[in-house]
């Protein structure tokens, strides 16, 4: 860890020191480019400081990926379209690309901050016309935007916690307002960003003393540091200066991060703050073992009752609940022990507004350091329509994409999961999507050039969940696990050996049930079968399990029968033989 943390804060590409005095669109584009580069440069060091809400070492990565998705949208806006279109693209991209608790909060923060350039009417300060600042940004609107950003970020979180990025956002809003209140001169936009940045830095320097888990680990809040990076980029683009005074671990967002004598210390000068990053012992995930994120989309704009209701639904299932967005599109995040119920809650809420859930992803938040050291392992992405299998897939180390029954994965959703696997090479089990024309080529094009995908991305022919279950089971029992050099070969051989069949028992009369299941088993089970996996929907009659076991016993008396609940609300039965 120390070697990674000793990297200079300015390492990597960045747009530091660029002063843009042109239109607001140019200033906004320059800020987006600078912040994206800066977040990438500090990603690993911020990851190493991440202990809250869980110590999964990914806050820096999540902030970078969230902002990078917004920057990608901005890159697609034709130059000259105007600041409003650029701001809208940034907001849209960060919302859809949000990763983790920190990324979801950042996306909502940027929605508020975008008001500085996205509104057409002149802003006022205390009833008088507000002056313009560098980059064409209206000063009064900029001050209001810092306040709106802080309110929005706090409002998106079900249970706000002091000492986190939310406190830094509140401080930035106060700092911006105080510049206007000082009244010594007519302020410029760069004066406002200077006040906001310094206040956020000072609050970040105090974060260790405000949150027990930060105090015990001797670190600053990683999310607050990330916000300082974003605000520092904005300040530089408007012509301001951000000190990168050397600390033993360099400076992140103008806040010095260094090592000392075993205690966290800070001063009123945030740029002289020194913090001791200890290797924090992994803690129990208080709200749950799994992180669940999904996008809820409605066909027409609806009110914020959707977000409020969804926050309440998810809060009943776990913690770290964030729901961000609006105007028909929301991104939801929760840590929970019940990922299937969390996805189901999103789908129920979507039905109330005639909408749908997309990008429903599940991953384990335990053992998070595997991501930080993941370049030596094989990452796994599994696409499934069986939410009941998501916990076991995730425990096996997979990033899980949960689809509606009958749906086929879109390449862009799978590409997001590939990036989230954060491994030297990634093996994708896309289900029926593999049969879609051009799927492999489209997936390859989407991940090509992504900085966090540094190795091969292979696609495994696993058309059903039965194939995926067998492949992951083989990997777990091979002794190598995802770190082994032959992980891909082990899974490929296991999946190829599966014979699978399915039956829909809906409407089958009770007196015909045994015959229907016996025929299904006969199609796939042979005398040499060793393991039979049965995947059953919630509406399958209870005695079907016994009937399948009896049918297997007639053909392969020594075979082990494993019954798994699919979590689907149907009467489907799938049988796989190995």
Beta-ladder partners of 122: none
Check: CB of residue 541 under 8 Å from CB of residue 554: no
The phi, psi pair for 256, rounded to 5°, reads -75, 135
Average pLDDT over residues 89-99: 95
Check: CB of residue 168 under 8 Å from CB of residue 135: no
- Residue 155 structure tokens: 């409002």
Average pLDDT over residues 76-84: 90
The phi, psi pair for 558, rounded to 5°, reads -95, 0
Average pLDDT over residues 421-437: 82
Residue spans of the domains in the chain: they are: 2-272, 290-496, 499-577
Beta-ladder partners of 457: 426
Check: CB of residue 553 under 8 Å from CB of residue 517: no
Average pLDDT over residues 396-405: 92
- Cβ-based neighbours of 270, under 8 Å, separated by 6 or more: 198, 201, 202, 204, 205, 254, 255
Distance CA 111, CA 89 (A): 10
The DSSP bridge pattern shows strands 378-384 and 356-364 to be: unpaired
Q: Give the model's pLDDT for residue 131.
A: 44
Q: Which residue has the higher pLDDT, 500 or 56?
A: 500
Give residue-wise pLDDT tens across range 431-452: 887 766 678 888 888 888 788 8
Distance CA 448, CA 456 (A): 10
Distance CA 94, CA 450 (A): 16
The DSSP bridge pattern shows strands 457-459 and 425-429 to be: parallel
Top-tier CATH class for 2-272 = mainly alpha
Crossing angle, helix 139-156 and helix 100-113, to 10 degrees? 150
Q: Which residue has the higher pLDDT, 121 or 499?
A: 499
Distance CA 120, CA 118 (A): 7
What percent of the chain shows pLDDT beyond 70?
78
3-state helix, strand, coil in the chain (%, to 5): 50, 15, 35
Question: Over the chain, what is the mean pLDDT?
Answer: 81
* Polymer length of the chain: 578
Residue 484 has pLDDT above 90, yes or no: no
Distance CA 447, CA 415 (A): 6
| Residue 452: alpha-carbon gap to chain centroid | 14
DSSP per-residue codes, 114-151: THHHH--SPPEETTEEPPB-GGG-BHHHHHHHHHHHHH
DSSP per-residue codes, 399-452: EEEEPPTT----HHHHHHHHHHH-SSEEEEE-GGGGGSTTHHHHHHHHHTT-TT
Q: Ramachandran region of residue 182, left (φ > 0), alpha (ψ -120 to 50) or beta? A: alpha
| Residue 465: alpha-carbon gap to chain centroid | 24
Distance CA 115, CA 93 (A): 16
Beta-ladder partners of 325: 330
Check: CB of residue 201 under 8 Å from CB of residue 254: yes
Name the pLDDT band for 12 (thresholds 50, 70, 90).
very low
SS3 65: helix
Distance CA 372, CA 122 (A): 46
The architecture (CATH level 2) of 499-577 comes to 2-Layer Sandwich (3.30)
- Residue 391 structure tokens: 């916990």
Distance CA 375, CA 192 (A): 41
Q: 550: burial class by Cβ within 10 Å (0-12, 13-18, 19+)?
A: middle
Residue 28 has pLDDT above 80, yes or no: yes
- Identical fold for domains 2-272 and 499-577, yes or no, is no
Give residue-wise pLDDT tens across range 458-481: 899 899 999 999 999 988 887 655
Distance CA 90, CA 96 (A): 10
Give residue-wise pLDDT tens across range 166-210: 999 999 999 999 998 886 576 888 999 999 999 999 998 888 776
Check: CB of residue 318 under 8 Å from CB of residue 337: yes
Give residue-wise pLDDT tens across range 113-163: 886 666 543 443 333 444 444 445 678 888 999 999 999 999 999 888 877
Report the range of poorest mean pLDDT among 59-63, 262-266, 556-560: 262-266
Question: Could you write out the three-class secondary structure of 227-264?
Answer: HHHHHHHHHHHCCCCCCCCCCCCCEECCEECCCCCCCC
Check: CB of residue 30 under 8 Å from CB of residue 54: no
Distance CA 317, CA 349 (A): 15
DSSP per-residue codes, 67-126: HHHHHHHHHTSPTTS-HHHHHHHHHHHHHHH--HHHHHHHHHHHHHHTHHHH--SPPEET
Neighbour tally for 136: CB within 10 Å: 18
Confidence (pTM): 0.83
| Residue 126: alpha-carbon gap to chain centroid | 40
Average pLDDT over residues 292-312: 86
Q: Give the model's pLDDT for residue 288.
A: 86
CA-based radius of gyration for the chain: 26
Distance CA 154, CA 52 (A): 16
Q: Give the model's pLDDT for residue 137.
A: 67
Neighbour tally for 195: CB within 10 Å: 24
Check: CB of residue 490 under 8 Å from CB of residue 484: yes
Name the pLDDT band for 562 (thresholds 50, 70, 90).
very high
Give residue-wise pLDDT tens across range 340-394: 999 999 999 999 998 999 999 999 987 544 444 444 478 999 999 999 999 999 9
| Residue 172: alpha-carbon gap to chain centroid | 25
């Amino acid at each position: 860890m120390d070697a990674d943390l000793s990297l200079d804060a300015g390492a990597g590409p960045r747009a530091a020191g660029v002063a843009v005095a042109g239109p607001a669109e140019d200033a906004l584009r320059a800020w987006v480019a600078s912040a994206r580069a800066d977040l990438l440069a500090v990603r690993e060091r911020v990851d190493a400081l991440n202990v809250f809400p869980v110590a999964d070492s990914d806050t820096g990565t999540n902030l970078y990926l969230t902002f990078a998705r917004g920057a990608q949208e901005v890159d697609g806006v034709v130059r000259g379209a105007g600041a409003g279109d650029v701001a809208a693209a940034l907001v849209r991209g960060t919302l859809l690309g949000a990763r983790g608790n920190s990324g979801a909060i950042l996306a909502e923060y940027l929605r508020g901050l975008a008001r500085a350039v996205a509104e057409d009417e002149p802003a006022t300060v205390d009833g008088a016309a507000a002056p313009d600042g560098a980059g064409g940004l209206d000063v009064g609107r900029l001050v209001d935007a810092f306040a709106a950003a802080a309110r929005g970020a706090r409002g998106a979180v079900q249970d706000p916690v002091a000492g986190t990025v939310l406190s830094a956002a509140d401080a930035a809003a106060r700092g911006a307002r105080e510049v206007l209140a000082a009244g010594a001169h007519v302020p410029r936009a760069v004066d406002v960003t200077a006040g906001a940045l310094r206040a956020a830095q000072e609050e970040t320097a105090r974060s260790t003393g405000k949150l027990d888990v930060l105090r015990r680990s001797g670190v600053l809040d990683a999310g607050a540091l990330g916000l300082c990076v974003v605000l520092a980029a904005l300040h530089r683009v408007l012509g301001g200066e951000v000190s990168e005074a050397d600390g033993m671990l360099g400076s992140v967002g103008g806040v010095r991060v260094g090592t000392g004598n075993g205690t966290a210390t800070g001063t009123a000068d945030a740029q002289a703050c020194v913090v001791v990053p200890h290797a924090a012992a992994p803690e129990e995930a208080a709200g749950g073992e799994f992180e669940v994120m999904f996008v809820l989309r409605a066909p027409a704009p609806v009110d914020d009752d959707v977000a409020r209701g969804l926050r309440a639904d998810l809060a009943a299932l776990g913690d770290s609940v964030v729901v961000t967005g609006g105007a028909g599109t929301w991104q939801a995040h929760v840590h929970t022990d019940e990922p299937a119920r969390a996805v189901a809650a999103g789908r129920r809420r979507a039905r109330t507004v005639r909408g749908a859930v997309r990008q429903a992803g599940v991953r384990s938040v335990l053992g998070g350091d595997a991501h930080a050291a993941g370049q030596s392992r094989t990452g796994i992405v599994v696409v499934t329509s069986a939410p009941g299998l998501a916990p076991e897939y995730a425990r096996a180390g997979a990033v899980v994409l949960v689809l509606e029954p009958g749906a086929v994965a879109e390449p862009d959703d799978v590409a997001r999961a590939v990036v989230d696997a954060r491994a030297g090479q990634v093996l994708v089990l896309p289900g029926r999507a593999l049969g879609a024309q051009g799927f492999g080529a489209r997936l390859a094009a989407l991940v090509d050039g992504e900085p966090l995908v540094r190795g091969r991305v292979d696609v495994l022919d696993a058309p059903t969940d039965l194939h995926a279950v067998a492949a992951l089971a083989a990997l777990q029992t091979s002794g190598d696990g995802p770190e082994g050099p032959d992980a891909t070969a082990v899974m490929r051989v296991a999946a190829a050996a599966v014979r699978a069949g399915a039956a829909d028992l809906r409407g089958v009369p009770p007196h015909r049930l045994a015959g229907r299941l016996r025929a299904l088993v006969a199609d796939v089970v042979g005398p040499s079968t060793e393991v039979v996996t049965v995947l059953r929907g919630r509406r399958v009659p209870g005695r079907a399990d016994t009937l399948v076991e009896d049918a297997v016993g007639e053909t392969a008396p020594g075979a082990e029968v494993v019954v798994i609940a699919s979590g689907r609300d149907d009467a489907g039965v799938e049988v796989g033989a190995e």
